[in-house]
């Protein structure tokens, strides 16, 4: 039995397939049914003679590979003879899909996928929390050593960081706190005026700004401004191998890079919080004077009667803790940069998100604690 491109000889238990001419798509289509029928042929050995091939394309190579594979899967020896080295690369690149392999990814229950992702993110969050706690312990150890030996503190770096994180942040902190005070007073006045208690707008602004809004808004601004700067600065030094150079010189990156930023922010953030409180109250005063027809003296009298020293102190107590968190997260993510510009951007974004998240969680914890203590 023969075609132009294929001749089959079955004698003595040996199956010989002789290929001739150009083994291209047209020849494969003509011989395909016969090749498929050979997959169940009870031969003891198969020899494919390719001496007569004068050309082969991807379709021919695929058909040839499929035929050889069909016999090999059944445990029958299949040997290819006489194939020119010119055509062998085409045959090697011909891909035979595994019939037992899945064509597409297995279907996953959407609920299981959501739970799996939630579990993975939870484990990642716990790992980050563990690493941050370890980093906190390391920084506190160096901080205690610096307190015992003040000469180890790099005061020039601390003052420079106070200027960058504190003094340079005054305009943006003041503007945003002032505007938030205006919005808070305006919305409060519109609601309280319905009950004939618009003078209580001063109470609302005073308590909310001093206890929550002032410090929380200031901490979020500092986290986005200074926390990202810490991560970007230290990350860039990590990419440029400056951190490695410090350690080669016998210097600690914690002492040289982290401690000045931590100390500076723990000094600057409380001062910024006080400034933010004043600007927020000033925004409330503007609304009270121009919208509620109150004089500045009336506003101050109502404010003094509405707030106490505890309202101011409860907000200010949070400032050093928020500062420590923001500085730690920014420096930690900066030190975790892996060595590329893309990693610097990723770690900077991560530092902002993590620090703001932790600040808000801590603020909620403080609010619950103050409520339980009756403060």
Condensed to tens digits (0 to 9), the pLDDT of residues 177-187 reads 999 999 999 99
**pLDDT of 47 higher than 70:** yes
Q: Which of 330, 337, 331 is nearest to 354 (CA)?
A: 330
Query: Which tokens sit at 280?
Result: 């927020």
CA–CA gap between residue 194 and residue 290 (Å, rounded): 18
pLDDT of residue 274: 95
Rounded CA separation 10/4 (Å): 18
Angle of helix 170-192 relative to helix 214-222, nearest 10 degrees, comes to 140
pLDDT at 244 over 90: no
Whether 265 contacts 222, CB under 8 Å: yes
Which of the residue ranges 159-173, 208-222, 284-298 would you say has the lowest mean pLDDT? Answer: 284-298
User: Is the per-residue pLDDT at 1 higher than 70?
Assistant: no
Place of tokens 């200027």: 163
| pLDDT for residue 285 | 92
Ranges of each domain in the chain: 6-93, 145-373
Higher pLDDT, 306 or 271: 271
Quick check: 280 and 214 in contact, CB under 8 A? Answer: yes
Rounded to whole angstroms, the maximal C-alpha distance in the chain is 118
DSSP H or E stretch at residue 9: strand 6-11
How many other β-carbons are positioned within 10 Å of the β-carbon of residue 248?
A: 9
Where do we find the tokens 């003040």? 150
Looking at residue 2, its pLDDT comes to: 40
- Of the pLDDT bands very low, low, confident and very high (cuts 50, 70, 90), residue 360 is very high
Average pLDDT of every residue of the chain: 86
Between 150-154, 224-228, 275-279, the lowest mean confidence (pLDDT) is in: 150-154
Is residue 306 within 8 A of residue 185, CB to CB? The reply is no
Q: Which helix (H) or strand (E) holds 53?
A: strand 45-56
pLDDT exceeds 80 at position 352: yes
Q: Highest mean pLDDT range out of 9-13, 50-54, 300-304?
A: 300-304
Token pair of 47 as six digits = 């020899």
Most confident of 15-24, 52-61, 320-329: 320-329
pLDDT exceeds 70 at position 3: no
pLDDT band at 327 (very low <50, low <70, confident <90, very high): very high
For residues 252-264, average pLDDT: 91
Query: Are residues 236 and 348 in contact, defined by beta-carbon separation less than 8 angstroms?
Result: no
Q: Which helix (H) or strand (E) holds 8?
A: strand 6-11
Domain 6-93 sits in CATH at 3.30.750.24
3-class secondary structure, 19: strand
For every residue of 226-275, DSSP letters joined together read: IIHHHHHHHHHHHHTTHHHHHHHTT--HIIIIIHHHHHHHHHHHHHHHHH
Classify the C-alpha dihedral 357-358-361-367 as positive or negative: negative
Residues facing residue 19 across a β-bridge: 6
**Alpha carbon distances (Å) from 342 to 71, 102, 238, 327:** 51, 35, 13, 22
- Does the structure show a pLDDT above 70 at 59? yes
Judging by DSSP bridges, how do beta strands 14-23 and 6-11 pair with one another?
A: antiparallel
Q: How many residues does the chain have?
A: 375
Highest mean pLDDT among 1-10, 11-20, 197-206, 227-236: 227-236
pLDDT at 272 over 70: yes
pLDDT of residue 136: 92
Phi-psi category of 85—alpha, beta or left, where left has phi over 0 and alpha has psi -120 to 50?
Answer: alpha
Tokens of 59: 């379709």
Q: Which residue has the higher pLDDT, 63 or 360?
A: 360
User: What does the buried/exposed string (b/e) look like for 268-287 if buried means 16 or more CB atoms within 10 Å of the residue's CB?
Assistant: bbbbbbbbbbbbbbebbbbb
Name residue, tokens 């597409």: 104
Instruction: Read off φ and ψ for residue 11, nearest 5 degrees.
Output: -135, 140
- DSSP designation for 80: E
pLDDT in tens, 107-125: 778 888 889 899 998 998 8
Asked if 8 and 17 touch (Cβ cutoff 8 Å), the reply is yes
């Amino acid at each position: 039995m023969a075609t132009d491109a294929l001749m089959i000889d079955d004698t003595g238990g040996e199956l010989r397939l002789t290929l001739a001419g150009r083994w291209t798509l047209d020849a494969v289509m003509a011989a395909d049914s016969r090749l498929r029928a050979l997959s169940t042929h009870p031969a003891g050995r198969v020899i494919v003679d390719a001496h007569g091939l004068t050309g082969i394309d991807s379709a021919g190579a695929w058909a040839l590979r499929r035929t050889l594979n069909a016999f090999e899967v059944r445990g029958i020896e299949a040997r290819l003879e006489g194939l020119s080295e010119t055509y062998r690369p085409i045959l090697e690149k011909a891909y035979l899909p595994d019939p037992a392999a899945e064509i597409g990814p297995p279907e996953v229950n959407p609920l299981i996928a959501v739970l799996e992702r939630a579990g993975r993110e939870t484990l990642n969050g716990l790992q980050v929390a563990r690493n941050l706690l370890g980093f906190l312990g390391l920084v506190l150890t160096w901080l205690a050593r610096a307190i015992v030996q003040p000469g180890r503190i790099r005061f020039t770096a601390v003052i420079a960081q106070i200027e960058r994180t504190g003094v340079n942040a005054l305009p943006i902190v003041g503007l945003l706190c002032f505007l938030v005070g205006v919005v808070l007073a305006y919305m409060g006045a519109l609601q309280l005026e319905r009950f004939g208690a618009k003078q209580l707008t001063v109470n609302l602004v005073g308590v909310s700004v001093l206890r929550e809004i002032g410090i929380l808004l200031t901490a979020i601004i500092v986290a986005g401004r200074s926390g990202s700067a810490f991560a970007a600065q230290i990350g860039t030094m990590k990419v440029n191998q400056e951190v490695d150079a410090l350690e080669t010189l016998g210097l600690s990156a914690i002492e040289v890079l982290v401690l000045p930023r931590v100390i500076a922010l723990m000094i600057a953030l409380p001062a910024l919080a006080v400034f933010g409180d004043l600007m927020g109250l000033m925004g409330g005063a503007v609304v009270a004077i121009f919208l509620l027809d109150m004089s500045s003296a009336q506003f101050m009298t109502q404010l003094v009667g509405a707030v106490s020293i505890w309202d101011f102190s409860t907000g200010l107590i949070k400032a050093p803790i928020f500062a420590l968190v923001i500085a730690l997260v920014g420096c930690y993510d900066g030190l975790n940069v892996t060595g590329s510009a893309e990693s610097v951007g990723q770690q900077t974004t991560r530092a902002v998100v993590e620090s703001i998240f932790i600040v808000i969680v801590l603020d909620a914890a403080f609010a619950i604690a103050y409520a339980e203590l009756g403060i």
